[in-house]
């Protein structure tokens, strides 16, 4: 199999697994909010791309810089950063959507300003909710690493 096909398969599996983690986390934890349920695959795609590409690029650099001393904690730290970046991206998208839809437009349709409020598709409220989500994503990341990268020889 060509390396491009293998990479696409790995990315697709990560998309499904991370999508399941985001879906379950949003159902189980009241401070992890996905306001549009159809956006879950998109959120998982952004996180999977960050997790796959950036983590793959940074792992050798960080292992060399720390001489492997933080190798056990690096996936958790990286996933916290990727999770915050994903949340920030979706908040920025919501801000751009807000800027395009003025409040006067909502009032003209007979709605009040609160009803016309645009919420980000993905939101985490609080440090402990972020840490909780990052722990579950790290467990999923470890299972994916074991199942996709460590065990099989493509």
Helices (H), the chain: 3-28, 40-49, 55-66, 74-100, 103-108, 127-144
Q: What is the pLDDT of residues 14-73, one digit of tens each?
A: 999 999 999 999 999 999 999 888 899 999 999 999 988 887 787 778 777 777 667 777
Q: How far apart are CA 118 and CA 96, in angstroms?
A: 10
Q: What is the pLDDT of residues 110-128, one digit of tens each?
A: 554 455 578 889 999 999 9
Neighbours of 72 (CB within 10 A): 8
pLDDT for residue 151: 76
Look up the pTM and report it: 0.80
| Three-state secondary structure call for residue 69 | coil
Distance between alpha carbon 93 and the CA centroid of its chain, in Å?
Answer: 15
């Amino acid at each position: 199999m060509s390396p491009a096909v293998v990479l696409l398969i790995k990315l697709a599996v990560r998309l499904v697994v991370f999508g399941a983690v985001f879906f379950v986390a949003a159902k189980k934890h009241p401070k992890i909010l996905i306001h549009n349920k159809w956006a879950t695959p998109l959120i998982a795609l952004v996180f999977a791309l960050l997790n796959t590409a950036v983590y793959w690029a940074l792992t050798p650099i960080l292992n060399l810089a720390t001489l492997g001393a933080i190798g056990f904690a690096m996936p958790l730290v990286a996933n916290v950063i990727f999770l915050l970046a994903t949340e920030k991206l979706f908040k920025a998208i919501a801000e751009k959507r807000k800027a395009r839809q003025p409040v006067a437009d909502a009032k003209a349709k007979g709605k009040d300003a609160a009803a016309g409020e645009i919420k980000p598709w993905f939101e985490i409220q609080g440090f402990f909710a972020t840490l909780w989500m990052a722990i579950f994503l790290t467990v999923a990341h470890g299972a994916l690493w074991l199942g996709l990268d460590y065990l099989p020889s493509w």
